[in-house]
Structure 1
Amino acid sequence: MNIREKISTLGLTLPETPRPKGDYVPVTIHGGVAYVSGQVCRVGEGVISGPVTDQTSPELIVQAGRICALRALSVLDHGVGLENVERILFVRGFVYGGEGFQHFSTVVDGASQVFIDVFGEQGRHARSAVGVAGLPSGGLLELEVTAVIKKHG
């Protein structure tokens, strides 16, 4: 089963490739490594808003992570083709946390699970989750992804 079939089987859909909202590129490739620019949990013209608190529904938190991960996969697909991703190396999550919120790692779990579901063991990655005072458009989560690209030839 190829990556696109796997994504479909999981009931997931890649969004349209996000366009930068500033003076940067969506992905930079250097030395066989792809660095995906931060992806906010944007849905259409809207965004899943933060800050996240202990009262935020777990379903909304998981949805935010999935959206960020799928946006990052869309960028990788457009930049190098998902079939050329050898493994996900590192994920950095920035969580817009409300006062007193401390469960930043839990917020990034939904995104990590997407990479593991799509790529299997090659989707397991190192990670950090950082609490921040705000994100672009008031988003709840922003995700950066680093991936190894397969060598050809």
Structure 2
Amino acid sequence: MYLMGNFITPNFPAELDGKMGFFQFPVINPEVGMAEDAPMDTLHIPSKAKNKEDARKFLEFVAQAENQQLINEMLLQIPTNNKAKAKSDPFLDKGVQMLASSDGTAQFYDRDTDPAMAKEGMKGFQEFMVHPDRIDKILERLERTRARTFK
């Protein structure tokens, strides 16, 4: 069993058709809402870009529902524009349903930040789980790492 995204499905050999699937993480505490990790690729314009006007036009183009639909059909991903339809696929269909019914979403912290910050953040999470009384020291250490990493 793995925590994996839809990006892996195009690599499944044909003989696994109908034999692979996924399921939502089991409920541990029914009083806590169900949330899903939903990493999202994003496009940005660098602050020192030389052609910001055309970059904005490109972002407007890519953000349109029909373009999101075409791009994500090729990538076999769920579009970020909620007016774009995901390609009909057993994995995507289930993923769309899970996201639509979830109480919240989160990104993958350790994948979506600078590696130096991710390393210290993960250590901080682990330390807090064992020693919650150290929260102030953990936060001070994380703030020093943040200031050094994101100058």
| Normalised-by-shorter TM-score class | under 0.3
TM-score when scaled to structure 1? Answer: 0.23
TM-score when scaled to structure 2? Answer: 0.23
Structure having the higher strand fraction is 1
* More relative contact order, 1 or 2 (CA 8 Å, 6+ apart): 1
Larger Rg: 2
